Structure 1
Amino acid sequence: MANIFELPDDLLAALIESFPCRDAQIRALATLLYPRAAPCRNLIIHGTEATGKSAVTARLLEALSSASSSSSSGNDAPPLFNHAVVKSVECVTARHLYERAVALVGDALRWEGRTATTTIGRCETVAALTVELTKMLKYDQPQERDSRFVLVFDGIDRQREAPPTLLPALARLSEIIPNLTTIFILTAPSPSLLRVSSVPQLYFPPYTKSEYITILSRPPYLPPPLPNTTPQETTDLWARFAAAVHDALAKPASRSLPGLARSCAALWPRFTAPVAAGTHRAREFTKLLVAARAYFQDEAVLEPGITLAKGPISISTATKTGEKEARSSSKDLAALLPPTARLLLIAAYLASHNAPRHDQTIFSTWHSGRRRRGGGGIAHHITKKAKHRKIARKLLGPSAFVLERMVAIYAATRQEWLNDENDGPENQPTVDGDVGMAIATLASLRLLIRVGGAGGAGDTMDRGGKWRVGVGWEVVRGVGRSMGVEVEEWLVE
């Protein structure tokens, strides 16, 4: 018994070679579209951005159409397979989408009813679209009944001014036109998207790390050989380099294949500069990674518009520059903020990283009658008791605190931190306008982040509002040292 499935294996092999790591999706898509396999009426292709949905679909349809046209050449039979791709990003309104679809289908079929002097009429509804497509895709001859036309709506979930019944209505086109297959390419389909049962869905998952490296190790991403290096050594170094870039920048800068490729292209000349200079060999990957670690931490390399470099920079100079910038960020912040804002920022950090049950022990003068300058203080003794903690609290993420607690810490420590011996009872700190202005300043600079209320909005001086500190340990330590305060002595580990 002959096999009813007749997929063009040679064509698919060439397509799989062009799109590595997508062979399963290519074969499934060809099976659901090719007329001599198992063609379906509607098909949903979904996946996140830059996973090859549109590119694979377009190339496969072009290849199947070309193979069908070449097989039917020399006789009067129409092509067995044809297609049209409608991109929603190019359509301003739903009417524009309908008219664009009619025009593309007419161009693909070279429809005789449309001459050079005629234009597409008004097509404002799906009903009008159905009428126009039925005229062009109505096959009456016996040899035409095995033909297939694929209409693709790319990015249809982002169509502007789309009516709520757009997708269910488009899914009914294949019920009226038997030889039509409608493909919907989108990001994340809902369970009742088309309101039609038994609609096959083809998922394009995000690339994994190994798939990223496999794709980047092939043309056109593979770089030319380095000087005094064999092509194989360059390929091996490029593969290890791409893996390091993925691990360092996958979340912030390389969420997709184009993003990772751009990051690798920007970092590769700087990473291989010691190899070109002859100071390192291509096999010394660890030494190259240590020498170029500053580039993996500098956003200006990936976004040249942030900082314009003047001339070439050596590896040692760039490393020292990155370390100086990391140390100078806290110094610049300490110089810009007034004393009240700096004290409140330190109090906010302590409120985010110390448990509330330790506040009375650390900050109350009733429990501690002496100053804590120069000697670990009560926080140091509490640290000795809490030996079960394996991770330092300052390395953990900040937790939310109530504004009243931060102001209480500020009021309890202000006199000691400022070392003001002449500060009498009449000058004790209160929640006055200076404190309110400082809190507003820290909030506007995102150094204090409001986490309570509707969307983070509300009264800044609401005593019950919840906040968290927006800076890390290095910044707070620099701000504290600018005022002679060792913040680490006030942390309970």
Structure 2
Amino acid sequence: MANTLFELPDELIASLVENFPCRDVLIKALATLLYPRAAPCRNLVIHGTEATGKTAITTALLQAFTEHSSASSSPAPSIYFSHAIVKSAECVTARHLYERTVGLVADALKWDGATGRCENIAALTVELTKMLKYAEKEGDDKTPRRFVLVFDGIDRQREAPATLLPALARLAEIIPNLTTVFILTAPAPSLLRLSSPPHLYFPPYTKAQYVAVLSRAPELPAPLPNTTTPQETADLWARFVAAVHDSLARPASRTLPRLRRACLALWPRFTAPVAAGTHRAREFSKLLVAARGYFQDESVLEPGILSRRPPTTTTTPTPSQPNTPTKPTSVNHSTPSSTDLSALLPPTARLLLIAAYLTSHNAPRHDVTLFSTWHQGRGRRRGGGSSAVRTRHPRSKHRKIARKLLGPGAFVLERMVAVYAALVREHDPHRGSEDDNNGGNNGNGGSNGGAKGAAATVDADVGMALATLASLRLLVRVGGAGASTFSSATGGGSGGGGGLGGADMDRGGKWRVNIGWEVVRGVGRSMGIEVEEWLVE
């Protein structure tokens, strides 16, 4: 290769383009900005989303340039080229990053001298200057030299000072033969605090590029049985990859590795009719119709996350006479789902959720009839609330939709807490009777006693349970003070226990329950409460 200006090693670039299809323009641009005989820059920012080939292409290109420089070292080298790649994910602190950078640069240069401790960016500059700028090299001084220092994932560096990236970008001003490459996801404006550093964007793959990458020879599956030719298998694979991309690219396979994994998982199921001999490889439409269920449900790709454990069956013998054969009886013990609220929420939160549902679906005028001890007495009967209300307020003949099927209404926090206190007595009668007795000794009758009993059940766990339900969006703030800031508060606001501030705990604030009838019925039965008995039809 002649030593001329702006000359790229075409044979190296051609091999990289073959290994990384659909990235030929980016490979040529990256080679131009890094090769010593092209247009090397001081700082380069490479950015793009996950799995777009940033790190893989940069590593392969730098490795090819280094091997090319070592191969041309005799009799006279055409270039001096070395590189080091520092992965921020492997560095715990900024000091760890500095010392690892010095160690990798020393290994790349085969440095025989001693390296000092690097506790800050100033010490890093001294060590790199000593190794790169003042190192004695053999050969012609006119031979271009270039050292590329890559910081991969530097935007996710832990315990990084605010001036880390601008300080690393100034290293090229002190060391003339140094190029610093920053690989990150989304660069901020004025990232390096320099005037117009070059940026190289790696865009996500398109559908045509996905199909082209996965249709290469290394990615093709083995030929199918039943006299299917390799060309028919390749054509079927290309159309299959396009179908998987159209159905699962957005919900389950947004990147190239995930799409490859999805194709490999669905390919045996998709080609099962071909292996069985019921369809041919050219009948893509019939194969797609037969396997449409796999393309509609992404749970096939991750069955361990979305699947429910099957019920366990145990066999118990029934008592029988001595001469009578024993007949086994199956008893099913169903295990609760991992997403069941009754298994995930504590008892206080479950009672509050039931109280919120009742408060949302019952009118306020029915609260005294349903929950007051002045109407119901000390011991509440099962179904007494509904039957009492039906006696005084008969159900309208024109209503055709049950109230539990209607949308929830808004309620104030103070009313929900009062209903919660009544539910505590229903769930734990012994505790409720003690509270009523303690309150009834005041001489004010049952009304004050019931109030004191209700107040005694509201403990410190109620605030934490409310914060938990609000953070899970099971309770939604719809009105009152602080309602406009509720969305930001539940996402991690300054309030304690899940994002509830002082305004959200206002007893006059309006809320709405965010669950349906099937969910709250299961939660109620887990606490021994039939929610339907407390609803007014």
Sort the TM-score into its range (normalised by shorter chain): 0.5 to 0.7
> Contact conserved, 2:44 with 2:199, CA < 8 A, in 1?
yes
> What residue number does 1:22 align with?
23
| Secondary structure class of the residue paired with 1:292 | helix
Deviation per CA, 1:214-247: give whole Å up to 9, x if none: 2222244332222223333333333333334334
> What residue number does 2:272 align with?
273
> Which AA in structure 1 matches 2:24?
D
> Which AA in structure 1 matches 2:65?
L
C-alpha displacement at 1:178, in angstroms?
A: 0.9
Compute the TM-score of the two structures, normalised by the length of structure 2.
0.62
| Secondary structure class of the residue paired with 1:149 | strand
Cα 1:11–1:303 shift into 2, 3 Å: farther
Q: Say yes or no: does 1:217 pair with 2:215.
A: yes
Matches of residues 1-150 of structure 1 in structure 2 within 5 Å? 4-70=5-71, 72-77=72-77, 79-111=79-111, 114=112, 119-138=114-133, 143-144=141-142, 146-150=144-148
CA distance in 1, matches of 2:398, 2:520: 19
Matches of residues 260-299 of structure 1 in structure 2 within 5 Å? 260-282=259-281, 283=284, 284-292=286-294, 296-298=298-300
Q: Say yes or no: does 1:458 pair with 2:458.
A: no
| Secondary structure class of the residue paired with 2:275 | helix
Matches of residues 259-408 of structure 1 in structure 2 within 5 Å? 259-282=258-281, 283=284, 284-292=286-294, 296-298=298-300, 300-301=302-303, 345=357, 371=395, 376=400
> What residue number does 2:154 align with?
156
| Secondary structure class of the residue paired with 1:188 | coil
> What residue number does 2:176 align with?
178
> What residue number does 1:192 align with?
190
> Contact conserved, 2:47 with 2:183, CA < 8 A, in 1?
yes
Deviation per CA, 1:53-101: give whole Å up to 9, x if none: 111100011112222332x332254743221111122222223222222
Unmatched 5+ stretches in structure 2: 311-335, 364-388, 420-446, 478-485, 524-529
Compute the TM-score of the two structures, normalised by the length of structure 1.
0.67
Cα 1:458–1:74 shift into 2, 3 Å: closer
Cα 1:306–1:133 shift into 2, 3 Å: farther
> Which AA in structure 1 matches 2:102?
V
| Secondary structure class of the residue paired with 2:85 | strand
> What residue number does 1:201 align with?
199
C-alpha displacement at 1:104, in angstroms?
A: 1.9
| Secondary structure class of the residue paired with 2:259 | helix
CA distance in 1, matches of 2:53, 2:298: 27
Deviation per CA, 1:179-227: give whole Å up to 9, x if none: 1111011112111221111211111122233322322222443322222
> Contact conserved, 1:106 with 1:136, CA < 8 A, in 2?
yes
C-alpha displacement at 1:467, in angstroms?
A: 5.5
Cα 1:21–1:401 shift into 2, 3 Å: farther
CA distance in 2, matches of 1:271, 1:304: 21
CA distance in 2, matches of 1:217, 1:155: 30
Cα 1:349–1:53 shift into 2, 3 Å: farther
Cα 1:3–1:81 shift into 2, 3 Å: closer
C-alpha displacement at 1:8, in angstroms?
A: 2.1
C-alpha displacement at 1:349, in angstroms?
A: 9.4
CA distance in 1, matches of 2:66, 2:145: 11
> What residue number does 2:432 align with?
none
Deviation per CA, 1:259-302: give whole Å up to 9, x if none: 22222222332333333233344322332333535753456437
CA distance in 2, matches of 1:244, 1:477: 41
> What residue number does 1:231 align with?
230
Deviates more, 1:286-295 or 1:78-87: 286-295
C-alpha displacement at 1:44, in angstroms?
A: 0.7
> What residue number does 1:165 align with?
163
> Which AA in structure 2 matches 1:10?
E
Cα 1:59–1:467 shift into 2, 3 Å: farther
Deviation per CA, 1:432-491: give whole Å up to 9, x if none: 799999996993995824453554633898555565665579979999xx9999xxxx9x
CA distance in 1, matches of 2:217, 2:508: 59
Q: Percent identity?
A: 57
CA distance in 2, matches of 1:74, 1:301: 58
Cα 1:302–1:404 shift into 2, 3 Å: same
CA distance in 2, matches of 1:399, 1:207: 45
| Secondary structure class of the residue paired with 1:143 | coil
| Secondary structure class of the residue paired with 2:298 | coil
> Which AA in structure 2 matches 1:176?
I
> Which AA in structure 2 matches 1:106?
A
Deviates more, 1:27-36 or 1:338-347: 338-347
| Secondary structure class of the residue paired with 1:56 | helix
| Secondary structure class of the residue paired with 2:125 | helix
State the structure with bigger RCO (CA 8 A, min sep 6), 1 or 2: 1
Higher Cα radius of gyration: 2
CA distance in 2, matches of 1:76, 1:468: 79
C-alpha displacement at 1:170, in angstroms?
A: 1.1
> Contact conserved, 1:44 with 1:201, CA < 8 A, in 2?
yes
CA distance in 2, matches of 1:372, 1:339: 30
Give the count of matched residue pairs.
Answer: 420
Deviation per CA, 1:401-427: give whole Å up to 9, x if none: 6656997xx9xxxxxxxxxxxxxxx9x
> Contact conserved, 1:46 with 1:201, CA < 8 A, in 2?
yes
CA distance in 1, matches of 2:512, 2:273: 44
| Secondary structure class of the residue paired with 1:276 | helix
Q: Say yes or no: does 1:241 pair with 2:240.
A: yes
> Contact conserved, 2:476 with 2:514, CA < 8 A, in 1?
no
| Secondary structure class of the residue paired with 1:61 | helix
User: RMSD between aligned alpha carbons?
Assistant: 5.2
Deviates more, 1:50-59 or 1:290-299: 290-299
